[in-house]
Amino acid sequence: MMKRKVCVVVASRANYGRIKSAMTAIAEQNNLELQVVVSASALLDRFGRAIDVIQKDGFEVSAKVYVVLEGETPTTMAKTTGLAIIELATILENLKPDVVVSVADRFETLATAVAASYMNIPVAHTQGGETSGSIDQSVRHAITKLSHLHFPATDLAKQKLIELGEEESRIVVVGCPAIDLLLDLPPLTQEIFGRTKGAGQVPDLSKPYILVVQHPVTTEYSMARRQIEETLRAVSTLGMQTIWLWPNVDAGSEDLSRGIRVYREQGKKDHIGFYKNFSPGDYATLLKNAECIVGNSSSGIREAEFLGTPCVNIGTRQSGRERGENVVDVEHDKSQIESAIKKAVDHGRFSSQLLYGDGTAGVKIADYLANCHFRIQK
Amino acid sequence: MMKRKVCVVVASRANYGRIKSAMTAIAEQNNLELQVVVSASALLDRFGRAIDVIQKDGFEVSAKVYVVLEGETPTTMAKTTGLAIIELATILENLKPDVVVSVADRFETLATAVAASYMNIPVAHTQGGETSGSIDQSVRHAITKLSHLHFPATDLAKQKLIELGEEESRIVVVGCPAIDLLLDLPPLTQEIFGRTKGAGQVPDLSKPYILVVQHPVTTEYSMARRQIEETLRAVSTLGMQTIWLWPNVDAGSEDLSRGIRVYREQGKKDHIGFYKNFSPGDYATLLKNAECIVGNSSSGIREAEFLGTPCVNIGTRQSGRERGENVVDVEHDKSQIESAIKKAVDHGRFSSQLLYGDGTAGVKIADYLANCHFRIQK
Amino acid sequence: MMKRKVCVVVASRANYGRIKSAMTAIAEQNNLELQVVVSASALLDRFGRAIDVIQKDGFEVSAKVYVVLEGETPTTMAKTTGLAIIELATILENLKPDVVVSVADRFETLATAVAASYMNIPVAHTQGGETSGSIDQSVRHAITKLSHLHFPATDLAKQKLIELGEEESRIVVVGCPAIDLLLDLPPLTQEIFGRTKGAGQVPDLSKPYILVVQHPVTTEYSMARRQIEETLRAVSTLGMQTIWLWPNVDAGSEDLSRGIRVYREQGKKDHIGFYKNFSPGDYATLLKNAECIVGNSSSGIREAEFLGTPCVNIGTRQSGRERGENVVDVEHDKSQIESAIKKAVDHGRFSSQLLYGDGTAGVKIADYLANCHFRIQK
Amino acid sequence: MMKRKVCVVVASRANYGRIKSAMTAIAEQNNLELQVVVSASALLDRFGRAIDVIQKDGFEVSAKVYVVLEGETPTTMAKTTGLAIIELATILENLKPDVVVSVADRFETLATAVAASYMNIPVAHTQGGETSGSIDQSVRHAITKLSHLHFPATDLAKQKLIELGEEESRIVVVGCPAIDLLLDLPPLTQEIFGRTKGAGQVPDLSKPYILVVQHPVTTEYSMARRQIEETLRAVSTLGMQTIWLWPNVDAGSEDLSRGIRVYREQGKKDHIGFYKNFSPGDYATLLKNAECIVGNSSSGIREAEFLGTPCVNIGTRQSGRERGENVVDVEHDKSQIESAIKKAVDHGRFSSQLLYGDGTAGVKIADYLANCHFRIQK
Please indicate whether residue A320 or residue C259 has the higher confidence score (pLDDT): A320
Mean pLDDT of B84-98: 97
Q: How far apart are CA D175 and CA D183, in angstroms?
A: 13
Q: How confident is the model at residue A249 (pLDDT cuts 50, 70, 90)?
A: low
* Residues 70-129, chain C, touching D (beta carbon < 8 A): 74-79, 81-90, 92-93, 107, 110-111, 114-115, 117-120
Structure confidence at residue D374 (pLDDT): 81
Q: Which chains touch B (3 or more CB pairs under 8 A)?
A: A, C, D
Q: What digits encode the pLDDT tens for the residues D4-19?
A: 999 999 999 888 989 9
Mean pLDDT of D74-89: 96
**Residues C222, C256: contact at Cβ < 8 Å?**
no
Mean pLDDT of A32-46: 94
Whether A4-182+359-371 and A190-347 share one fold: the answer is yes
Q: Which residues of B touch C201 (CB under 8 A)?
A: none
Structure confidence at residue D276 (pLDDT): 80
Residue A252 one-letter amino acid: G
Cβ count near A72 (within 10 Å): 26
Q: What digits encode the pLDDT tens for the residues A72-103?
A: 899 999 999 999 999 999 999 999 999 999 99
User: What is the phi/psi pair of residue B15, to 5°?
Assistant: -45, -50
Helices (H), B293-360: 303-307, 334-347
Mean pLDDT of D248-256: 62
In this complex, do A66 and D67 lie within 8 Å of one another by their Cβ atoms?
Answer: no
Structure confidence at residue A138 (pLDDT): 87
Report chain D's mean pLDDT, rounded to a whole number: 90
D-interface mutation test, from B94, B95, B96, B118, most D Cβ less than 10 A away? B94
* Residue C87: closest C-alpha in chain A: A87
Structure confidence at residue D267 (pLDDT): 61
**Residues D274, D261: contact at Cβ < 8 Å?**
no
E strands in chain A: 4-10, 32-39, 63-65, 99-103, 123-126, 149-151, 198-200, 210-213, 242-245, 272-275, 292-295, 311-314, 327-330
Tell me the C-alpha to C-alpha distance, in Å, between residue A60 and each of A56, A177, C3, D282.
9, 20, 21, 51
A-interface mutation test, from C86, C88, C118, most A Cβ less than 10 A away? C86
User: What is the phi/psi pair of residue D126, to 5°?
Assistant: -95, 150
Q: CA torsion angle for D264, D266, D270, D271 (degrees, to 10)? A: -60
**Residues C301, C284: contact at Cβ < 8 Å?**
no
* Residues 330-349, chain A, touching B (beta carbon < 8 A): none
Residue B269 pLDDT > 60, yes or no? no
Could you say which of A89, A133, A221 has the minimum Cβ distance to residue B79? A89
Q: How far apart are CA B350 and CA D376, in angstroms?
A: 61
Residue B48 pLDDT > 90, yes or no? no
Half-sphere exposure of A52 (CA within 13 A, CB side): 11
**Residues D242, D272: contact at Cβ < 8 Å?**
yes
Mean pLDDT of D305-322: 92
The series of mean pLDDT values per 10 residues for chain C, 378 residues long, is 92 90 96 96 88 95 96 93 97 97 85 95 94 78 95 95 94 95 91 81 90 83 81 91 80 66 67 83 93 94 95 91 94 96 96 92 97 79
* Residue B262: closest C-alpha in chain C: C199
The two most distant CA atoms of chain A are separated, in Å, by 63
Structure confidence at residue C351 (pLDDT): 93
Distance (Å) from the alpha carbon of B229 to chain C's nearest alpha carbon: 20
B64 touches chain C (CB under 8 A): no
Could you say which of D64, D83, D93 has the minimum Cβ distance to residue B94? D64
Q: How far apart are CA C302 and CA C312, in angstroms?
A: 13
Mean pLDDT of A309-324: 92
Q: How confident is the model at residue A134 (pLDDT cuts 50, 70, 90)?
A: low
Bridge partners of C33, per DSSP, are C5
Structure confidence at residue B362 (pLDDT): 97
Domain boundaries, chain C: 4-182+359-371, 190-347
Please indicate whether residue A212 or residue B184 has the higher confidence score (pLDDT): A212
CATH code of the domain occupying C4-182+359-371: 3.40.50.2000
Which pTM was predicted? 0.87
Structure confidence at residue A250 (pLDDT): 57
Structure confidence at residue B63 (pLDDT): 97
- The full DSSP string for C67-115 is -PBTT-SHHHHHHHHHHHHHHHHHHHHHH--SEEEEETT-HHHHHHHHH
Residue A242 pLDDT > 80, yes or no? yes
Element (H or E) spanning A288, and its range? helix A280-289
**Superfamily designation of domain B4-181+359-371:** Glycogen Phosphorylase B; (3.40.50.2000)
Please indicate whether residue A264 or residue D35 has the higher confidence score (pLDDT): D35
CATH architecture of B190-347: 3-Layer(aba) Sandwich (3.40)
Cβ count near D98 (within 10 Å): 17
Structure confidence at residue C320 (pLDDT): 83
Structure confidence at residue D217 (pLDDT): 78
Q: How confident is the model at residue B136 (pLDDT cuts 50, 70, 90)?
A: confident
In this complex, do D71 and A66 lie within 8 Å of one another by their Cβ atoms?
Answer: yes
Question: Taking the mean position of all CA atoms in its chain, how far away is CA C248?
Answer: 10
Structure confidence at residue D92 (pLDDT): 97
Q: What digits encode the pLDDT tens for the residues A179-228?
A: 999 998 989 999 998 888 777 778 899 999 999 999 887 666 677 778 88
Could you say which of A64, A83, A86 has the minimum Cβ distance to residue C94? A64
Plot region of C159 (φ>0 → left; ψ -120 to 50 → alpha; else → beta): alpha
Q: How far apart are CA A48 and CA A37, in angstroms?
A: 17
Structure confidence at residue A7 (pLDDT): 98
Q: How confident is the model at residue B376 (pLDDT cuts 50, 70, 90)?
A: confident
* Residue B47: closest C-alpha in chain C: C71
Report chain B's mean pLDDT, rounded to a whole number: 90
Q: How far apart are CA D323 and CA D345, in angstroms?
A: 18
Q: What digits encode the pLDDT tens for the residues D147-188?
A: 999 999 999 999 999 999 999 999 999 999 999 999 989 899
Sequence-distant contacts of C327-331: CB under 8 A, at least 24 apart: C327/C300, C327/C301
Distance (Å) from the alpha carbon of B352 to chain A's nearest alpha carbon: 31
Q: Which residues of D touch B40 (CB under 8 A)?
A: none
Residue D125 pLDDT > 70, yes or no? yes
Structure confidence at residue D199 (pLDDT): 72
Mean pLDDT of D234-241: 91
Q: Which residues of B touch A119 (CB under 8 A)?
A: 74-75, 77-78
Distance (Å) from the alpha carbon of D286 to chain A's nearest alpha carbon: 26
Mean pLDDT of D340-348: 96
Residue A269 pLDDT > 60, yes or no? no
* Residues 23-62, chain C, touching B (beta carbon < 8 A): 43-46
Distance (Å) from the alpha carbon of A157 to chain D's nearest alpha carbon: 35
Tell me the C-alpha to C-alpha distance, in Å, between residue D95 and each of A180, B62, D35, D98, D103.
55, 10, 8, 9, 19
In this complex, do A218 and B139 lie within 8 Å of one another by their Cβ atoms?
Answer: no
Q: How far apart are CA A147 and CA D84, in angstroms?
A: 33
* Residue C122: closest C-alpha in chain D: D219
What DSSP designation does D69 have?
B
Mean pLDDT of A28-46: 94
Residue B268 pLDDT > 70, yes or no? no
Q: How far apart are CA C255 and CA C209, in angstroms?
A: 26
Please indicate whether residue A356 or residue A216 has the higher confidence score (pLDDT): A356
Q: How far apart are CA A37 and CA A8, in angstroms?
A: 6
D-interface mutation test, from B9, B38, B51, B87, most D Cβ less than 10 A away? B87
| Nearest Cα to Cα of residue B214 among B236, B254, B249, B246 | B246
